[in-house]
Amino acid sequence: MPDLNRLDQTTRLYAEWRRGQKCSWHEFSRPQIHGYDLNCVDSLGSSQFISGADEKLLRVFEEPKTIARLLQRLCGINELRSEELPDAANIPVLGLSNKAIQAVGDDQLTIVGNGDAQEAVGPNPVVYSSLLELEHPPLEDHLARHTLWPEREKLYGHGYEISAVTTSYDGTLVATACKASSIDHAVIRLFDTKEWHEIKPPLAAHSLTVTSLRFSEDDRHLLSAGRDRQWSVFKRDSNQGAIYKLSTSNPKAHSRMILDAAWAPVQTGRIFATAGRDKLVKIWEYQESAFICNHTIISLVPVTAVDFLQVLVSSMLCLAYGTEDGGINVYGSNLESLAFTKLLALDMSITPSKAITQLSWRQQRLSQMAKGDDEAETDAALKQAKFELAVASEDSSLRIYSITNLGS
């Protein structure tokens, strides 16, 4: 789970430390220590991520071999390409980009000095492989000095600070946007992940900053939402897989700016939700060549984040949304009416103290359960499943909530 901390200008990797019957979440790596405030991040396959900040470019990072081995040993996360990965990374003097470096053994250390003043030195810059051969998650000193990821690519093209980024489910495309006050800069740029070239022309639909970008689960559609109160849906060209064209948009979707948007599971058809500063969550469904608002959830405060659970629980569609005051609510609906009712409101004593900036349901185990051979057994397992919801907030916290009995 990659995370970013805007104020201290770092990205951080969290994972579940498993030891017997015990499991707990810890920070395992600090891949990026930046010189700008960070605004957005997304995973790109199992060993890469991309981040955008208050600069005009995006940076792609690749997992080093030392971290892959640490995660395999302590978390059971196996990276099939681990032998192809770079050893480690550091930041050169007077540099801003993490560079790949070689990890060396302790036998390459040289002891200098006399008595208590002895010090171990070696080739520079390097990381010593023994430093991350740990039987516990790295401590602060290790995290700050020895867990950087090498930077693989920089993506250029935007004229202002990066505001949003998302990656396609098949891992072949990256969609990005920047802060904008005019149509010229409020475009969405697509990049392929093979050659890292921009796919032109950029996608134009908005007149102000794009706040959210999401690919549908089958990558056939790209959803965008912005401060101009509109959402737009771009459709993938069936003959040219990397080309998207504007399919439809709604310039008056909300009465105030839209802060987030999310697609429902692909098996439900074409359904998405938008969350706005007008204190509304709107559910949109594709009907007769247009997206129609089928249901509206009314909140007491502005809604700042939204995400759908990507499996159905007892044939029910589940959605979580976060608010400006740190509130978190989970709603559910059957597919026939799309009339959402509240399933759960988290107690404010355990929620963040400031606005929710992003929500994400954990997907890894859900997809495996949803593909079971026996439909009845799969449905029973989902009813009793423990669902995990990650929540990021402006109070600088990242929280993971365990939610059970959604289907009861």
Gap between the Cα atoms of 101 and 61, Å rounded:
14
Gap between the Cα atoms of 93 and 10, Å rounded:
18
Which amino acid makes up residue 93? V
Phi-psi region of 144 (alpha: psi -120 to 50; beta: other; left: phi over 0): alpha
Express each pLDDT in 83-103 by its tens digit. Answer: 677 777 777 665 667 777 666
pTM assigned to the model: 0.87
Which amino acid makes up residue 14? Y
CB atoms within 10 A of CB 159: 12
CATH code matching the domain that covers 163-404, chosen among 3.30.9.10, 2.130.10.10, 3.20.20.80, 3.40.50.300: 2.130.10.10
Domain(s) labelled CATH 2.130.10.10 in the chain stretch across 163-404
pLDDT at 93: 61
Gap between the Cα atoms of 329 and 325, Å rounded:
12
Residue 214 CB-density burial (10 A; 0-12 exposed, 13-18 middle, 19+ buried)? buried
Q: Are 311 and 317 in contact (CB under 8 A)?
A: no
| Helix locations, 124-192, DSSP H | 140-146
Gap between the Cα atoms of 47 and 167, Å rounded:
13
Mean pLDDT by 10 residues, the chain (408 residues): 67 93 93 90 93 95 91 88 71 68 58 45 53 86 88 95 97 97 96 96 97 97 98 93 94 97 94 98 94 97 97 92 98 91 96 97 62 56 79 94 83
The count of C-alpha atoms lying within 13 angstroms of the C-alpha of 47, restricted to the half-sphere facing its C-beta, is 22
Closest CA to 28 of 4, 62, 1: 1
Helix (H) or strand (E) holding 192: strand 188-192
CB atoms within 10 A of CB 294: 16
Q: Are 213 and 177 in contact (CB under 8 A)?
A: yes
